A and B are shown apart, each in its own frame.
Chain A
C-alpha cells in the first residue's frame, strides 16, 4: 500500500516544487525559446537574430513572425533528405543493435545467477569511459592503414585495403557500438523475468527450441525490446559525433546539419526550426516508449 504523507502538506509542496521549477526553467522553457527563435529573422549581430517584437508604440505591439525558415525546410531537398537519411540510419542502426544485443541479453539472462551481475557490469563498463574516445578508437581501426585492414591483409583475406572509414558502414558500426548497452539492459530486464517453466511447458507440448523462441520468448520480450529500440532510435535521430567523426563530409544527418547551420552558418533561426521539426517527428516514438515503460511498471506490480 502506498505511503501517504497526508499530514505534512507544506513540506510536500516544496519537495515537488523544486524539481518542477528546475525542469520548467531549464528544460521546458528552452523549448519555447526554440519555437520563438525559429520564427525570427537572422541578422549579422550578437545574437544573430532579430527580436520578434519590432515595435511597441501607442498600445500597439508589432510582431514579425518569419515562417521563411519552415518554408525553406519544406522546399529545399537538402533538409528533407537529411530527415529521411536520419530516419534510415536510425532504423538500420536500431535493427543491427537488436541483432547483436538480443543474443547477448538472452545469454546473460540464461547464465548462472552469480555470473549475471559481472556479465552485466562488463556491458556497462565501457559506458563509463569516454564515448568520444571510444568512437575515436574506431577511426584507428577502420581507416585505410588501420588495424582492421592490416589484420585482413596480413591474413591474406584481401589484397587492397577496404574503404570503410567515411562511409555509411562506419557510421552504423560506430552507432551500434555506442548504443549497444541501451538495447541490452531493458531487454535483459524483461528476459530475466521470463518464467523458464513456460518454455518447458511448450517443449512438453511438442514445441522444438526454435519455435519455443518464436512463439513464447519473443512475444513475451516484446515490451522490453520495443523500449530498448526506442532508447536507441530516438537519440540516434539527432546523433552528431558518430556521423561527424566516422561518416565523413558526405554523411547527411539532421544532427550534423543543425550543428553546421548553427556554428558554421550562424543561422540560428534555421537551426531552431530544424530542431522544432525534429522534436515534432520524435513525439511519436517517445509516446511509444512511455507506453512500453508504463506497461513494464504495471508488470512490476
Chain B
C-alpha cells in the first residue's frame, strides 16, 4: 500500500495511527475496523457519502466519541482515553460553533486562555491569527454581525490559535457558494503548507478532496474503500465503487483470455471487442473482471486498425459544457460509453454531429482492471 506521496517523508512515524477502530451503536456499525496512518504535514481527506462513517471517525479523533474497539495514537502516544480538552488536536466545526456572546478576538483567544498563556502572549498570537485569515478589522464584532465567509475564517483562526499539531476540519467549505469555495480551497492549502500543520478534512465533495489533499481516504459503510493520492485514486481506482465515485467512467465487464508479461487480455461481450490492459499481478484465465477507462482517456482515430481496444459506435448525445464536450456513443452491442474532449477547435470547425460513426481507442496503460 506504500504510495508515493509528493512532498512528504514516509519513513517517519505517522503522526496519527488508527488501529482497529470500530464504533458501533447497538447493531449498527458506524465505523468498522479501520486501520489508518496519517503523516506529519499531510493534507488528508476523509471522503464519502453520508452515513459512511467519516464524521464519526473524525469525532473519535477529536475525542467526542469513544471507540467501541481499537486504539488511536498521536505521535506514538495512545490517546484513546484522553478527553478532548487534553488532546493536541483542534477542530474546525461544520457549523463554525463560534461563541455568540464573545467578540471575534475573545473567540480566538479562548483556547489560549485555557492554556494559561500570559496576556501579552495572547494578544500577540490573536493579532497574528487575525492577520492570517484577514479578519483584523472585524475583531470587535460578535459572530452574528459577520457574514458566513467571515465566520468561517474566524472559526479557522480560533482552531489554529493554539498551533495544534493536527487540525481537524468538518466539511469546512460546505456552507460557502461555489466561487468562494474555490478561492478558499487554495487559501486553506496555503495556510496549511506555511504553518506545516497536519490537516485532516472530512468532506463529501470529491472535487474538493482532490484539489486540496495529498492523500484521500474513500470511505463506504464504515470501512475504507481505498487510500491513495488524488491522481492514483482517479487514474487507478481499485473497485467499481471508487471508480464511479470520482467523475465519470466507462466500465466493461469481461473475462480474462490471456496473461502477458505486464498486461492481460480480456474479452468483453459488453464492448463486443478484445481489450488489453496493463496489469502487474497475474490473473487466472477465465477470471471475471471489469475494465475501467476514463472518458478523457479515449482517443479518436479515423478508422479501425488491428489490435485490442478498438470500439466503433454512433454518437447518440452531445453535451456541450463550454470548455469541453461529453459525447455519449452507442456501441453495436447496445452499451453506451462516454467520451470527453476539450473544445480546442473554434466553433466553425465543429468536429462531430449526432448520428455520426466514430472509432475510439485507448492505450493499454490508460485503463485499469478491477476485480471487485
Contacts and interface: CB of A to CB of B under 8 A. Distances in A.
Any A–B CB pair closer than 8 Å:
yes
Interface of A: 3-4, 6-8
Contacts of B64: 3-4
B66 interface: yes
B65 A8 contact: no
9 contacts: A3-B64, A4-B64, A4-B65, A6-B65, A6-B66, A7-B66, A7-B81, A7-B82, A7-B83
Contacts of B66: 4, 6-7
Contacts of A7: 63, 66, 81-84
Residue of A3, A4, A7, A8 contacting most chain B CB atoms (<10 Å): A7
Contacts of A4: 64-66
B313 to A, nearest CB: 49
Nearest to B86: A7
A3 B82 CA distance: 16
A6 B63 CA distance: 9
Contacts of B81: 7
* A-B pairs, 8 with minimum CB distance: A7-B83, A6-B66, A8-B83, A4-B65, A7-B63, A7-B81, A4-B64, A3-B64
A20 B65 CA distance: 27
A8 B86 CA distance: 12
A5 to B, nearest CB: 9
A71 to B, nearest CB: 52
Nearest to B56: A1
Nearest to A3: B64
Contacts of B82: 7
Nearest to B66: A6
Contacts of B83: 7-8
Contacts of A6: 65-66
A4 B60 CA distance: 12
A251 B287 CA distance: 93
Nearest to A7: B83
Interface in B63-93: 63-66, 81-84
Contacts of A8: 83
Nearest to B65: A4
A4 B59 CA distance: 12
A6 B84 CA distance: 10
Contacts of B65: 4, 6
A6 B66 CA distance: 7
Nearest to B55: A1
A1 to B, nearest CB: 8
A108 B82 CA distance: 51
B261 to A, nearest CB: 53
A4 B83 CA distance: 11
Nearest to A5: B83
A4 B66 CA distance: 9
Interface in B24-64: 63-64
A3 B62 CA distance: 13
Contacts of B84: 7
A6 B81 CA distance: 9
B83 to A, nearest CB: 4
Contacts of B63: 7
A4 B25 CA distance: 13
Given A4-B64, A4-B65, A7-B83, 6 more contacts: A3-B64, A6-B65, A7-B66, A7-B82, A7-B84, A8-B83
A208 B305 CA distance: 76
A6 B68 CA distance: 12
Interface string B297-315: 0000000000000000000
A187 to B, nearest CB: 32
Contacts of A3: 64
Residue of A3, A4, A6, A8 contacting most chain B CB atoms (<10 Å): A6
